[in-house]
Amino acid sequence: MKKFVASIFLLCIMSLAGHASSLRDVRFHDITNDTTRINEILDKASSLKYGNASQLCGMIAREFIGKPYVAHTLEDSVEMITVNIDELDCTTFVETVLALAYTVNERRTSWHDFVFNLERLRYRGGQLNGYGSRLHYICNWMADNTYRGNLDDATRNMPKVFYVTRSIDFMSANRDKYPALKDSVEFERIKNTEIGYRNHRFPYVRTNDLGNKAVKAALRDGDAIAFVSNLKNLDVTHMGFIVIVDGEPHVLHASSSHGKVEISELPLQEFMKKNRQFIGIRIIRLKE
């Protein structure tokens, strides 16, 4: 009987293949638990009242507090749309929450719509086409999704904004760190992406300005944030969400040092000052 139910379930999945490049391209961590939990979160979030998309993201992000931090869950011999809501790193946490919120904003409550939107956010042009199609660099992820109307780079509208210019080529310069780049075709695809980010200029809010009253007032609970790195050839090395605790912005993120999704004990500015590899943040919002 269990085998029969599983077969019917898989047939239902195959019948929905039009929602992603192909659901044969989807890799679940635990298909039954993943799909059930995704539907539960979507149902719950759809019943909530929220004033803007950031608030919705904040509500959804809190559903993952306590989930374990696990790195490299997207990496495998074949690039697939990986769905894993039980093991998260900083990037997959942000992508998962944004895809869930995007789905709720569409007034949809099915896991297969979530998978479609996860692909929409994670891959260039919204479509899986091998390792090189994944938006590995946050600058590329933001530019591609902003162009397609999925995201808004809210940084430029902050009360205090500075700009930095960098040539982004960390992946090709550290080819040995990325097993997929042993493939010469994928290596060239990454290099071609990097060409577009030579002398790339982007806005950020400096750590020293995060205590400014106007800046703090402009931050929304549920804003996605990207932590700007001090590395010369990389833009961002960490991501998370703003949560407002007793009037102060904190960070809700998948913490590698603490091994789980958590809200930082320190307010945002103090958190940043303690982590000196970060020089500031970029603020990302779902398009309203």
How many structural domains does the chain have? 2
Give yes or no for a contact between 142 and 151, defined as CB atoms under 8 angstroms apart: yes
Give the integer Cα–Cα distance in Å for 97 and 117.
11
281: containing domain: 151-286
166 in the same domain as 96: no
Instruction: Tell me, yes or no, whether 6 lies in a domain.
Output: no
Q: How would you write the pLDDT of the chain (288 residues) with one tens digit per residue? A: 433 333 334 434 444 444 455 677 999 999 999 999 999 999 999 999 999 999 999 999 999 999 999 999 999 999 999 999 999 999 999 999 999 999 999 999 999 999 999 999 999 999 999 999 999 999 999 999 999 999 999 999 999 999 999 999 999 999 999 999 999 999 999 999 999 999 999 999 999 999 999 999 999 999 999 999 999 999 999 999 999 999 999 999 999 999 999 999 999 999 999 999 999 999 999 998
* Dist CA 226 CA 145 (whole Å): 15
* Residue 4 domain flag: no
Q: From the CB of residue 73, how many other CB atoms can be counted at a distance below 10 Å?
A: 17
Instruction: Report if residue 225 sits inside a domain.
Output: yes
2 part of a folded domain: no
Q: How many CB atoms lie within 10 A of CB 243?
A: 21
Question: What whole-number distance in Å separates Cα of residue 123 and Cα of residue 126?
Answer: 5
Residue 3 belongs to a domain: no
What is d(CA 184, CA 242) in angstroms, rounded to the nearest whole number?
A: 39
CATH code where residue 124 lies: 1.10.3670.10
* Coil vs helix vs strand at 68: strand
- 108 burial (CB, 10 Å; 0-12 / 13-18 / 19+) is middle
For residues 229 and 263, membership in a common domain is answered with yes
